[in-house]
């Protein structure tokens, strides 16, 4: 055994090999494509390689090209494949009506339409043209938003742009927290 471990002190290379292991290939070998990405968890910004096979993410690994992470990922980053394929992930719109006790189904199109109607209605109901001192407000405090720190810059940009034009000012994200 000592002989086996001489050139393999961790027992992870030659000593772990067998006839069966010689036939094994990493699942990354079978990927149709590999896409460069960035870890979605903390703010270090480690490079990720996303392997896709049969229309699904088959593996996510560290990107050795990244000068930030040099191929490494922490437990969360290494678990990203299971984050994007989590057994708890939702794939359909869920709707709960006022006072309801169950989730109901709704098409995405119908949900979008209903949300647009509610935005317009709440905005009209809570519109503030000016305050009691006659100062221009031009806004609504009746619609608020929270979130953005896990989103893309482009997404935050469109959110701030549209909400601002809508007069919604209570637009916030985790940076406040």
Partner 1 sequence: MGSNMAECHPVGFQWVMEAKLRGAQLIHVDPRFTRTSAMATRYVPIRAGSDIAFLGGIVNYILEHGREFREYVVNYTNAPVIVDEGFKDTEDLDGLFSGFDEETGRYDNSTWQYAGMEVRGAVQSDETALSGHQVGYGGAAAHMRRGEPPEEDPTLEHPRCVFQILKRHFSRYTPELVEEVCGCSREQLVAVAEALCDNSGRERTSAFCYAVGWTQHTIGVQIIRTAAIIQLLLGNMGRTGGGIMALRGHTSIQGSTDIPTLFDILPGYIPMPHAHEQQTLAEFVQQNASTTGWWGRLDAYMVSLLKAYFGDRATAENDFCFDHLPRISGDHSTYQAALDMLEHKVKGFFLWGENPAVGSANSRLHRIALANLEWLVVRDLVEIESASFWHDAPELETGELKTEDIATEVFLLPAAAHTEKNGSFTNTQRLLQWHFKALEPPGDCRSDLWFMYHLGRRIREKLAGSDDPRDRPILDLEWDYPTEGEQEDPRAEAVLREISGWDTEGRAVSGFGDLKADGSTACGCWIYSGCYAGEENLPARKRPGQEQNWVAAEWGWAWPLNRRILYNRASADPDGKPWSERKKYVWWDETQGRWTGYDVPDFGADKRPDYVPPDGALAEKAIAGRHPFIMQADGRGWLFVPSGLQDGPLPTHFEPQESPFRNPLYGQQSNPARKQRRHRLSPFNPTAGHKGGDAYPYVLTTFRLTEHHTAGGMTRTVPYLAEVQPEMFCEVSPALAAERGLENGGWATIITSRTAIEARVLVTDRLRPLQVQGSELHQVAVPWHWGSRGLVTGESANDLFGLALDPNVLIQEVRGATCDIRPGRRPRGPALRELVESYPHARQERHR
Count Cβ neighbours within 10 Å for each residue of 9-38 and write b for 16 or more, e otherwise. eeeeeeeeeeeeeeeeeeeeeebeeeeeee
- Which range touches partner 1 (CB under 8 A), out of 1-9, 16-24, 70-78? 70-78
Our CB check for partner 1 shows the closer of 15 and 57 to be 57
- Closer residue to partner 1 in complex, CB, 7/125: 125
Largest CA distance in the chain: 89
Q: Which stretch binds partner 1 (CB under 8 A): 8-16, 18-26, 87-95?
A: 87-95
Q: Does 28 bind partner 1 (CB under 8 A)?
A: no
Question: Which range binds partner 1 by CB under 8 A, 3-11, 12-20, 21-29, 57-65?
Answer: 57-65
- Is residue 41 within the footprint of partner 1 (CB under 8 A)? yes
Per-residue contact track with partner 1, 97 to 136, x per CB under 8 A? xxxxx-x--x-x--xxxxxxxxxx-x--xxx-xxx-xxxx
DSSP secondary structure code for residue 83 in this structure: H
Q: Is the dihedral of CA 94, 98, 102, 104 positive or negative?
A: negative
Report the alpha-carbon distance of residue 143 to residue 167 in Å, rounded: 9
List the structure tokens of 164: 């601002």
Please pick, from the candidates 21, 38, 59, 61, the single residue that binds partner 1 as defined by CB under 8 A: 38
25 lies in the site for partner 1, by CB under 8 A: no
The Cα 40–Cα 89 span in angstroms is 16
């Amino acid at each position: 055994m000592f002989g086996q471990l001489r050139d393999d002190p961790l027992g992870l290379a030659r000593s772990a090999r067998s006839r069966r292991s010689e036939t094994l290939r990493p699942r990354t070998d079978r990927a149709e494509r590999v896409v460069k990405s960035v870890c979605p968890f903390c703010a270090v910004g480690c490079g990720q390689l996303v392997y896709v096979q049969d229309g699904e993410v088959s593996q996510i690994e560290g990107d050795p090209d990244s000068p930030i992470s040099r191929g490494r990922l922490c437990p969360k980053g290494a678990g990203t494949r299971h984050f994007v394929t989590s057994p708890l992930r939702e794939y359909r719109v869920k709707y709960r009506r006022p006072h309801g006790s169950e989730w109901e189904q709704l098409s995405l199109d119908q949900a979008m339409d209903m949300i647009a109607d509610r935005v317009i209605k709440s905005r009209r109901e809570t519109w503030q043209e000016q305050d009691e001192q006659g100062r221009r407000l031009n806004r609504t405090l009746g619609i608020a938003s929270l979130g953005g720190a896990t989103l893309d810059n482009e997404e935050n940009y469109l959110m701030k742009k549209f909400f601002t034009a809508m007069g919604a000012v209570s637009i916030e994200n985790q940076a406040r927290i």
